[in-house]
Amino acid sequence: MELTMAKLHSLERALIATAVVLLTLLAWSYMAMPMPATVADGSKPHLPALILIMWTVMMVAMMLPSATPMIMTYMKVCQRRRASNRSMSPTWVFLAGYLTVWTGFGVLAALLQWSLNKTALLSPAIGHVGPVTGGVLLIMAGAYQFSRLKQACLGKCQSPLGFLMTEWREGLAGAFVMGIRHGAFCTGCCWALMLLMFVGGVMNLVWMIGLALYFLAEKLVPWQRLFSHITGSILIASGTLILGIQ
C-alpha cells in the first residue's frame, strides 16, 4: 500500500510539473506570436479585449516560473495530508487563485495602457513611453525596491512552506483564497517592475524575458534584500540620468 501511494504521489508530481511547464510554454508561445502593431495603442474597438488578453498571458508567462516552487510545495503538503487522512484540495484550485490575481493585474495594466494612449504618452508603434515618463517609471520602480511592502511581499514569496504553515485554510474555498493571497504577494513583489514594460515596449520579448529571469532570481537568491537594493539603486540612477539629459 505504501509503495502504491508513493507511486501515486510521484505520478501526481510529474503531472503537475508537466502541466505547469506546458502552461508556461503556451503563454510564452502566445507572446512570441506576431501581433498587430495597433495593439500598442488600443485605438480600434476590438483591441481593448486583445490588450487585456495580452497582459494576462504576459503575467502567466513571466510569473508562473517563479511561482512554481510554491505550487509544488502546496502539492506536497496536500499529499502528506492525504496520507494521514486529513482534508486537502486539488492543486489546480490553488493555482486558480493565482490566475485570478494575475488577471486582475492584467485589467489594471490594460486600463493604464489605454490611458497612456489617450494622453499621447505611449508610442502607438511599439508601445513604449517617452523618455520623461520612462525616467519617472524607472525612479518609481527603483524606489519601490527599498520599500517595506516590497520586502514583506518578497519574504512571503521566498518561504513557501512558511506561508502555508501560517496561512493554511481548509476546503476548496480555502485553497482558492490561499492562491489569491500568495498571488497577491507575488504581484506585490513585481508590479512596479512589470510597469517597466512600458519603458522597454509592451511587446518587447527580450525585455519580457529579462524581467521574468529577474523575478525568478529575486526569489531564489539568499541575499534578497541586498539584491533588491542594488536593483533599486540602478533603476533610480538610470531614471535620474534619463531625466537629467532631457
Q: Which three cell numbers stand for residue 72?
A: 509544488
**Under 8 Å between Cβ of 175 and 94:** yes
Which residue in this structure is represented by grid cell 514583506? 152
Q: 5 CB contacts (<8 Å, ≥6 apart)?
A: 83
Domain count, the chain: 1
Residue bearing the bigger pLDDT, 82 or 2: 82
What counts of helices (H) and strands (E) characterise the chain? 10, 0
CA 26 to centroid of chain Cα atoms: 16
**Residue 126 — very low, low, confident or very high, per pLDDT cuts 50/70/90?**
low
- State the pLDDT at residue 26: 95
**Among 58, 110, 107, 100, residue whose Cα is nearest residue 184:** 100
Q: What is the pTM of this model?
A: 0.85
Convert the pLDDT of each residue in 68-92 to its tens digit.
999 999 998 888 887 777 767 788 9
**Among 111, 110, 77, 82, residue whose Cα is nearest residue 94:** 77
CA 246/CA 244 separation, integer angstroms = 6
On the question of pLDDT at 45 being above 60, the answer is no
- In sequence order, the β-bridge partners of residue 122 are 129
Domain holding 76, by residue range, is 2-244
**What is the arithmetic mean of pLDDT over 108-126?**
79
Convert the pLDDT of each residue in 186-238 to its tens digit.
999 999 999 999 998 887 889 999 999 999 888 888 888 899 999 999 999 99
Which residue in this structure is represented by grid cell 519580457? 208
CA 205/CA 28 separation, integer angstroms = 9
**What is the arithmetic mean of pLDDT over 87-116?**
89
First-to-last alpha carbon distance for the chain, in angstroms, is 71
